[in-house]
Amino acid sequence: MKRHIVTLAVLISLVIGLVVATDLTDIRLFDRIATNLCISLVLVLGMQVFMGNSGILSFAHIGFMGIGAYTSAALTIPVQMKGMALPDLYPVVAAVELSPYLGILAGGLVAALVAAALSYPLMRLSDAAAVITFFALLVVLHTVMLHWSEVTNGPRTLFGIPKATDLNLAAGFAALAIVAALAFKESRTGLLLRSTRDDETAAGALGAKVAVLRWQAFILSALFAGIGGALWGHFITSFSPKAFYLKETFVILGMLVIGGANTVSGAVVGAFMVTFAFEGLRAVESGLNRAQIFSEQVVGLTEITLALAMIGIMALRPGGVFAMREIGAILTRRARKKRDSS
Amino acid sequence: MTMFIQFLIDVLSLGGAYALMALGLVIVFGILKLVNFAYGELIMVAGYTMYMVSGLGLPWLVMAGIAVIMAIMAGIATDYVAFRPVRAKSVTAVLITSFAFSTLLQNAAQLFISPRPRTVPLPEIFSATVEIAGVITPARNLITIAAAVTLLAFFAFIMKRSILGIAMRAAATHFTMTRMLGVPANLIISSAFAISGFFAGVVSLLWIGRIGTVVPGIGLEPLLIAFIATVIGGMRSLQGAVLGGFLLAFIDTGLNYSLPQELLKFRDAFTFSLVILILLWRPQGLMRGPATGQRT
């Protein structure tokens, strides 16, 4: 952990810088963008915890985000609202009304518990089989969310979730996520898991329990995803299961891959880059739509650009912007070189 | 008895379509170990081609031919855009590029055509019904069965007898050795993608024949079906893919006939849980193919 002090300082100051800059400009749109960015950070870092350390592409991540969002919603919607928002909710849950902050934590915990219960057997798989199973898991979670009307209001929009997430709260969780992701990476479990990523057979032969290690990382990753989802739910205040499917998966995966999945710095920088590029393009899109240059609405420009960027990054720099070293290591090494040469 | 014939026709027609979908996916996976997420979008390309040429007043079969050719071209484009630049790199890189290419095509369709459904021309025979032994069934079911049987037989012949087919099977078994014996790698890979596109094109005609319209997201369901079928049958075996397709159709139709209404909406969750169980029990699928992992 010690050698990552610089990394930690740089990454956290990025988040603090974002908060300060937003507060100074005091524009509502910027506030929304910055909060969304912080929530994305929590989600991307959660994905990094599993994918970066184990080397397995996890498609199921966004499903756990959905679990977190719906858990927190079911626990925090005010009791008198529940009759309207979730008419068929089980009486035990319907009587509960937690503070949103407890709800967010509960969302993370439930997501982690579900992950712990479901995922252990999946951790034996690698490569293509793992990818397809995680994809299947995402579809299962999505189908359940789509049809479990008692808790999720079915495919319809769930509304009435109390607004609790502001920029400071989201940024706080983002900073915590950075610390946790770095700490996990440097922990004994993280180190062993990274050794299985680089050579599964060799690490297994040396006594690393591959499945158990992956399982631990997956639970932590689901905890992040659940918290991120609950934060998002309390920010957006109404959503439907559609929000937790392939489109969101693609965006979060794009952030991680462009930044570099193997490093925490990569996850953070990727989230920043993609968010800013997205908001820029979205402004272009809505500008075009307002000017009505084209007869139909312009949609999908952002996704097309992100897709091209992902293919480009994979072809030219498959590890992403930060492929192996954390930003702190790069900076210290540069400083040392400068000192040596002078 | 009528119930049984009805069930049989349903299973066979659905299974034929599923088997073709799975075969298109597995032909690429078998040789390249690439899970091609953009496979569903090949189906979408064929659908939109049908929509775009529908104004030209051509006979339906000619339009269908153009659509299949476009799907083949899109398949080859997948190779050039998403696969060739990252071929030598990690499995994850290839997965990500194919996922990105799939999103790219889908959003391009949204941007340049429309997010809303578009009608596709269908020949009259698709909406006709036929009576067999007291069972009334849409003619398109029988067409699907016939098309599937013909194509599967033809494809089996190509793979067993033609030089290209033998080279492709050899490449799936041992890519490096095949190259050393003088088979050009790029030709094999492009052919695999072209065949994948061909199956996607045909599937598209049969699939859209059920719905009648095409939307940007139309490829997702066939893609998922192909995934499950290949996983059940065996990721590396062509026979396995066909078997998986029919088995999945049997399970789906069986659940349709037997599940009560309130559980039926969870059918996909049941099927996908089944996939996870099968993968745990037999990570290779029911039929084991040749074991290899290289593709350079």
The model's pLDDT over B206-243, given as tens digits with 9 standing for 90+, comes to 888 888 888 888 888 889 888 888 888 877 778 888 89
Q: Is A306 on the interface with B (CB under 8 A)?
A: yes
CB pair distance less than 8 Å for A55 and B92: yes
Residue A218 lies in a domain: yes
For residue A216, pLDDT over 90 is answered with yes
Total length of chain A: 342
Q: pLDDT of B32-63, one tens digit each?
A: 778 888 999 999 999 999 898 887 878 888 99
Domain boundaries, chain B: 2-281
Determine contact, residues A259/A52, Cβ cutoff 8 Å: no
ipTM of the complex: 0.86
Residues of A in contact with B235 (CB under 8 A): 128-129
Distances (CA, A) of B45 to B39, B108, B198: 10, 11, 12
Hey, what are A277's tokens? 């590029």
Q: How many CB atoms lie within 10 A of CB B183?
A: 18
- Which of the two residues, B94 and A177, has the higher pLDDT score? A177
Q: Is A211 on the interface with B (CB under 8 A)?
A: no
* H, E, C per residue of B202-246: HHHHHHHHHHCEECHHHHHHHHHHHHHHHHHHCCCCHHHHHHHHH
Residue A317 lies in a domain: no
pLDDT of residue B294: 47
How far apart CA A135 and CA B227 sit, in angstroms, is 9
Nearest to A310 among B91, B96, B268 (CB): B96
How far apart CA A101 and CA A238 sit, in angstroms, is 17
For residue B108, pLDDT over 70 is answered with yes
- Which of the two residues, A275 and B134, has the higher pLDDT score? A275
Residues of B in contact with A57 (CB under 8 A): 92, 95-96
How far apart CA A32 and CA B238 sit, in angstroms, is 51
pLDDT category at B76 given cuts 50, 70, 90 is very high
Dihedral (Cα; B74, B47, B96, A114), 10-degree rounding: -160
Q: Is B265 helix (H, G, I), strand (E, B) or coil?
A: coil
| pLDDT over 70, % of chain B | 97
| pLDDT over 90, % of chain B | 24
pLDDT of residue B293: 46
Nearest to A127 among B91, B231, B280 (CB): B91
CB pair distance less than 8 Å for B272 and A310: no
Residues of A in contact with B30 (CB under 8 A): none
Q: Is A122 on the interface with B (CB under 8 A)?
A: yes
Domain total of chain A: 1
Residues of B in contact with A144 (CB under 8 A): 266, 269
Determine contact, residues A108/A226, Cβ cutoff 8 Å: yes
Q: pLDDT of B12-30, one tens digit each?
A: 999 999 999 999 988 888 7
| pLDDT over 70, % of chain A | 98
Question: What average pLDDT does range A228-236 have in this prediction?
Answer: 95
pTM of the model: 0.89
Range of the domain at A74: 2-244
How far apart CA B32 and CA B48 sit, in angstroms, is 28
Residue A49 lies in a domain: yes
Q: Return the residue of A nearest to B274 by Cα.
A: A136
Residues of A in contact with B29 (CB under 8 A): 128
For residue B295, pLDDT over 60 is answered with no
Least-confidence region, from A33-37, A168-172, A247-251, B259-263: B259-263
For residue A292, pLDDT over 80 is answered with no
Residue A142 lies in a domain: yes
pLDDT category at B289 given cuts 50, 70, 90 is low
Nearest-Cα distance to chain A for B3, in Å, is: 30
Question: What average pLDDT does range A24-30 have in this prediction?
Answer: 86
Mean pLDDT of chain A, nearest integer: 89
CB pair distance less than 8 Å for B272 and A315: no
Nearest to B90 among A143, A298, A318 (CB): A318
CB pair distance less than 8 Å for A140 and B273: yes
Question: What average pLDDT does range B156-167 have in this prediction?
Answer: 89
Half-sphere exposure for B230 (CA within 13 Å, toward CB): 31
pLDDT of residue B256: 82
Residues of B in contact with A133 (CB under 8 A): 275-276, 279
Fold (topology level) of B2-281 = ABC transporter involved in vitamin B12 uptake, BtuC (1.10.3470)
Determine contact, residues B138/B212, Cβ cutoff 8 Å: no
Nearest-Cα distance to chain B for A22, in Å, is: 32
- Which of the two residues, A337 and B278, has the higher pLDDT score? A337
Residue A160 lies in a domain: yes
> Among A89-98, A301-310, B127-136, which range has the highest average pLDDT?
A301-310
